[in-house]
């Protein structure tokens, strides 16, 4: 195999199976690019950066919600599932964006939020206006309060973001919300709710979207008895048998079987990926069957340290699970809900509690003396390169290709994340997600580092300019150049979905081969690892000299041409 520094044009997969081994780039629309200078990223901003996405070499973009929303939860409180938030653009802008992406062979996945709507959604407004026991109220989860006049909540449950999970509506009834109080949960026993989402899936599919990312896919179906269990009882209940009252119930797969029929009405069939935080990889696999959503996020690497044993275990486990259902695995190191992986890996190892640890660091005000910025980025680059060689899809989060760190020092007055405010008692994890949602730096100066003509909606620290696209663009050692090279090579090298581990004689060095001889090796330790003679390094996350892979470095190898 002869691969030179000259990169072939990226080849994107144009088969119905494109999703199986795609590199999907997550755009958080409000923070990507702002075309009209109001400080909020928008769809025309995305259109203006399509060349950037093309050159980056990704296969698909996934857009976090861009629907009309009061922004109680960064857009995951949807007021209308079939429109664009006027602050972000119009349906015509959406169509232009789809056309611009498709013209470059880039697929588009949109976010669907079926567990809850916004409290501004017309169905919830109708439920509030209608009396107790009405068909309108039945579309959400209402219960009578306890106490003489219903003045006490039906149960002592806490929401995922902290604070109570039941909210009174003033007539003795209360509604249930897993997340913020502005996000009432739908009642999926009601056929109207099914119809609402089938209509929505067709609406976007008809507009040309290629697939859907399904928010809180494990939460939709509930089974609440007349006498509700206490929070402590709920917590103690098994989450692995499909019978927990709130999470990961087996019946949820009936919803996805219904959706599969809609996906299959299209040619090629629309694809879906489940966000399902479930108890075991076996439970996750149920979301990824061909009769269901087809693919499910594997978040295990978010929790893992930069540690060979943890990586090996997670990789082997997930490849086995996805093979068992006929799906392909997914790999995620960063997204809009967690502390960026360059930062997580810059904190001292903590035995597989990375997400929580990053959160604790944010809550402590992001002490600079606890963060090894350079080491964190070095490990992040190595982890990404290693993961990009794995069979399956990789989901990348905007800004990681610039090697961005988390922004820790956002003043409380400028924070937007409801988890920050609701969890003010600090008894929950997942707090303070604004630091990974700070608008991207495109240039090294300007009012918002080229994000737009105005000041960005979240404060951008000074150091962001040094990691801007303009600075990294022409620098062969930059993280952007590393991602571009790796993604272009990935198109050339992509092959069958098998992986064979190669023993390295070292506990801290992992190495595997793909069927065509493409190999990836990662040194998770500090001592150099000698590569074999005749092994050609085609890309590495840090310089490799004299055939020795330094610590905290990954490389891709191909058999030498001669
Ligand atoms: C998961 C999303 O990724 C997160 O951002 C959101 O807050 C919750 N679901 C609720 O929709
Ligand atoms: Ca704007």
Predicted confidence (pLDDT) per residue in 520-541, tens digit:
999 999 999 999 988 899 999 9
- Looking at all shown ligands, the one closest to residue 44's CA atom is 2
Instruction: State both tokens at 515.
Output: 């069927």
Q: Please report where in the chains the tokens 């001292």 appear, as a residue.
A: 348
Instruction: End-to-end CA distance of the chain: give it in Å, rounded.
Output: 9
* CA proximity to 488, closest of 80, 6, 1: 6
Classified as helix, coil or strand, 264 is: coil
Residue 43 dihedral angles phi and psi, to the nearest 5°: -65, -35
- Looking at all shown ligands, the one closest to residue 88's CA atom is 2
For residues 52 and 100, give the distance between their C-alpha atoms in angstroms, rounded to a whole number: 12
Q: How would you classify the pairing of strands 107-112 and 211-214?
A: parallel
pLDDT at 7 over 60: no
Residue 90 dihedral angles phi and psi, to the nearest 5°: -130, 170
Q: Measured between alpha carbons, how far is residue 241 from residues 177, 187, 296, 299, 458 in Å?
A: 23, 21, 19, 21, 42
What separation in Å is there between the alpha carbon of 215 and the centre of ligand 1? 6
- Residue 409 preceded by cis peptide, ω within 30: no
**Arithmetic mean of pLDDT, 259-266:** 98
Residue 397 dihedral angles phi and psi, to the nearest 5°: -110, 135
* CA proximity to 275, closest of 256, 254, 261, 260: 256
pLDDT number for residue 46: 98
What separation in Å is there between the alpha carbon of 73 and the centre of ligand 2? 18
pLDDT at 13 over 80: no
pLDDT number for residue 431: 58
pLDDT at 453 over 90: yes
What separation in Å is there between the alpha carbon of 382 and the centre of ligand 1? 28
Q: Which residues contact 17 (CB under 8 A, 6 or more apart)?
A: none
Residue nearest to atom 3 of ligand 1 (CA): 337
Classified as helix, coil or strand, 418 is: helix
**Arithmetic mean of pLDDT, 299-327:** 94
For residues 164 and 14, give the distance between their C-alpha atoms in angstroms, rounded to a whole number: 47
pLDDT number for residue 14: 78
Rounded to 10 degrees, the C-alpha dihedral 240/246/247/253 comes to 100
Q: How would you classify the pairing of strands 23-27 and 60-63?
A: parallel
- Looking at all shown ligands, the one closest to residue 335's CA atom is 1
Active-site pick, 122, 195, 264, 265? 265
Q: Please report where in the chains the tokens 């809180």 appear, as a residue.
A: 216
Instruction: State both tokens at 222.
Output: 């509930």
Half-sphere exposure of 6 (CA within 13 A, CB side): 1
Q: How would you classify the pairing of strands 330-332 and 393-397?
A: parallel
Phi-psi domain of 13 (left: phi exceeds 0; alpha: psi -120 through 50; beta: other): beta
* CA proximity to 553, closest of 416, 400, 379, 403: 379
**Arithmetic mean of pLDDT, 442-454:** 97
**Arithmetic mean of pLDDT, 492-513:** 97
* CA proximity to 390, closest of 513, 267, 271, 304: 513
pTM higher than 0.85 for the full model?
yes
Half-sphere exposure of 555 (CA within 13 A, CB side): 23
Residue 558 dihedral angles phi and psi, to the nearest 5°: -130, 155
Classified as helix, coil or strand, 263 is: helix
* Residue 5 pLDDT grade (very low, low, confident, very high; cuts 50, 70, 90): very low
The DSSP bridge partners found for residue 545 are 548
Residue 76 dihedral angles phi and psi, to the nearest 5°: -80, 15
Do 24 and 335 contact (CB within 8 A), yes or no? Answer: no
Lining residues, ligand 1, CB within 6 Å: 73, 76, 113, 179, 215-216, 275, 336-337
* CA proximity to 188, closest of 233, 255, 271: 255
Residue nearest to atom 11 of ligand 1 (CA): 76
**Is 527 tagged catalytic?**
no
**Arithmetic mean of pLDDT, 269-293:** 94
Task: Please give the order of strands across the beta sheet that includes 173-176.
Answer: 142-144, 173-176, 166-168
Structural element, H or E, at residue 123:
helix 122-129
pLDDT number for residue 428: 45
Instruction: State both tokens at 453.
Output: 């003509």
Please give the distance of CA 87 from its chain centroid, rounded to a whole number.
23
**Is 265 tagged catalytic?**
yes
* Residue 2 pLDDT grade (very low, low, confident, very high; cuts 50, 70, 90): very low
Active-site pick, 42, 73, 93, 215? 215
**Arithmetic mean of pLDDT, 15-19:** 93
Do 123 and 78 contact (CB within 8 A), yes or no? Answer: no
| Residue of 65, 72, 74, 76 to test ligand 1 pocket, by largest number of atoms within 8 Å of CB | 76
pLDDT number for residue 157: 97
Q: How many other CB atoms sit within 10 Å of the CB of residue 79?
A: 21
pLDDT at 129 over 60: yes
pLDDT number for residue 425: 46
For residues 414 and 313, give the distance between their C-alpha atoms in angstroms, rounded to a whole number: 40
**Arithmetic mean of pLDDT, 363-371:** 90
Do 434 and 365 contact (CB within 8 A), yes or no? Answer: no
* Eight-state DSSP code of residue 170: S
For residues 168 and 144, give the distance between their C-alpha atoms in angstroms, rounded to a whole number: 9
pLDDT number for residue 559: 81
Q: How would you classify the pairing of strands 393-397 and 500-501?
A: unpaired
Report the sign of the C-alpha dihedral through residues 118, 123, 126, 131, in that order. negative
What separation in Å is there between the alpha carbon of 214 and the centre of ligand 1? 10
pLDDT at 3 over 70: no
Do 293 and 286 contact (CB within 8 A), yes or no? Answer: no
Output the average pLDDT for the chain: 94
Residue nearest to atom 5 of ligand 1 (CA): 337
pLDDT number for residue 121: 98
- Please identify, by atom number, the ligand 1 atom nearest to the C-alpha of residue 275: 1
Ranges of H-type helices in 207-251: 231-236
pLDDT at 11 over 60: no
* CA proximity to 490, closest of 414, 393, 373, 409: 393
What separation in Å is there between the alpha carbon of 100 and the centre of ligand 1? 28
């Amino acid at each position: 195999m002869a691969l030179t520094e000259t990169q072939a044009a990226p080849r994107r997969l144009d088969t119905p199976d494109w999703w199986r081994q795609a590199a999907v780039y997550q755009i958080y629309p409000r923070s990507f690019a702002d075309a009209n200078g109001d400080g909020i990223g928008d769809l025309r901003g995305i259109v203006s950066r399509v060349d950037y996405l093309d050159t980056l070499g990704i296969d698909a973009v996934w857009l976090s919600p861009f629907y009309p929303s009061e922004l109680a939860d960064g857009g995951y409180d949807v007021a209308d599932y079939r429109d664009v938030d006027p602050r972000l653009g119009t349906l015509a802008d959406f169509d232009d964006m789809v056309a611009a992406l498709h013209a470059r062979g880039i697929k588009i996945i949109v976010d669907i939020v079926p567990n809850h709507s916004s409290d501004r959604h017309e169905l919830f407004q109708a439920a509030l206006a209608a009396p107790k026991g009405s068909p309108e109220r039945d579309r959400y989860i209402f219960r009578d309060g306890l106490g003489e006049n219903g003045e006490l909540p039906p149960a002592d449950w806490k929401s995922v973001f902290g604070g109570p999970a039941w909210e009174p509506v003033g007539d003795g009834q209360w509604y249930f919300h897993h997340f913020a109080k502005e996000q009432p949960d739908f009642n999926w026993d009601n056929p109207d709710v099914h119809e609402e989402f089938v209509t929505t899936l067709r609406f976007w599919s008809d507009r040309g979207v290629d697939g859907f990312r399904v928010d809180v896919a494990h939460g939709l179906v509930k089974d609440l008895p007349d006498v509700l269990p206490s929070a402590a009882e709920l917590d103690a209940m098994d989450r692995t048998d499909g019978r927990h009252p709130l999470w990961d119930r087996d019946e949820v797969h009936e919803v996805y079987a219904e959706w599969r029929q809609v996906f299959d009405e299209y040619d090629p069939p629309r694809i879906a990926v489940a966000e399902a935080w479930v108890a075991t990889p076996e439970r996750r696999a149920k979301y990824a069957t061909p009769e269901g959503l087809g693919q499910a996020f594997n978040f295990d690497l978010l929790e893992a340290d930069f540690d060979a044993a943890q990586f090996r275990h997670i990789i082997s486990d997930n490849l086995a699970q996805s093979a068992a259902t006929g799906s392909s695995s997914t790999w995620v190191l960063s997204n809009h809900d967690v502390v960026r992986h360059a930062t997580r890996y810059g904190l001292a190892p903590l035995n597989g509690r990375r997400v929580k640890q990053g959160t604790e660091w944010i809550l402590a005000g992001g002490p600079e003396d606890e963060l090894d910025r350079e080491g964190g980025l070095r490990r992040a680059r190595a982890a990404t390169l290693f993961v990009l060689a794995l069979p399956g899809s990789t989901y990348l989060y905007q800004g990681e290709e610039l090697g961005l760190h988390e922004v820790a020092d956002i003043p409380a007055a400028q924070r937007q994340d409801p988890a920050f405010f609701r969890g003010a008692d600090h008894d929950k994890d997942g707090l303070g997600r604004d630091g990974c949602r700070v608008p991207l730096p495109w240039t090294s100066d300007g009012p918002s580092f080229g994000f737009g003509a105005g000041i960005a909606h979240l404060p951008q620290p000074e150091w962001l300019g040094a990691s801007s696209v303009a600075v990294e663009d022409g620098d062969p050692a930059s993280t952007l150049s590393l991602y571009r090279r790796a993604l272009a090579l990935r198109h050339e090298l992509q092959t069958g979905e098998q992986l064979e581990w190669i023993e390295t004689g070292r506990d801290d060095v992992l190495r595997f081969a793909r069927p065509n001889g493409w190999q990836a090796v990662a040194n998770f330790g500090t001592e150099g690892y000698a590569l074999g003679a005749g092994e050609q390094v085609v890309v590495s996350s840090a310089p490799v000299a004299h055939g020795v892979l330094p610590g905290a470095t990954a490389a891709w190898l191909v058999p030498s041409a001669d």
